[in-house]
Amino acid sequence: LKASRGAVVNVASDAGVHGNYFCAAYCASKGAVVLFTRALALETAAFGVRVNAIAPGDILTPLTEAQLGTGEKREQSLREMASVYPLGRIGTAEEAAALIVFLASARASFVTGAVYGIDGGLTA
């Protein structure tokens, strides 16, 4: 990373910046990712290495699909999950990936130690 003046993008969670019910260990682990990102950014900045993180809310993935179920149950569960987000939906893997690509790119060359929420406004 030093030789290439590279970039690291960690994946935290909205649960790492605010608490969630019945998820204490998960919240603690994602909160650790947030502070690890910020500390490592400071430690590596002198070498030109950038370290950032994304903090996604619910993202539609195979794991999320398994939680939702099938048929009408899936649609109802998806509506309930989306209802807590100001944008009225959950995110996609492509949206999260696009933010990671940006943070890893030269277009974000002056960004380090940042934690970007990608959560449809949930933590606004």
Active-site entry in 21, 26, 85, 116: 26
Confirm whether 26 is a catalytic residue: yes
Which run of H or of E encompasses 29? Answer: helix 24-44
Local structure of 119: helix, strand or coil: coil
- State phi, psi for 40 to the nearest 5 degrees: -65, -35
Residue 18, CA distances (Å) to 23, 33, 93, 104, 117 in order? 11, 13, 22, 25, 11
Tell me how far apart the alpha carbons of residues 124 and 8 are, in angstroms, rounded to a whole number. Answer: 25
- How crowded is the C-beta side of 61, counted as CA atoms within 13 Å? 10
Residues with active-site annotation: 26
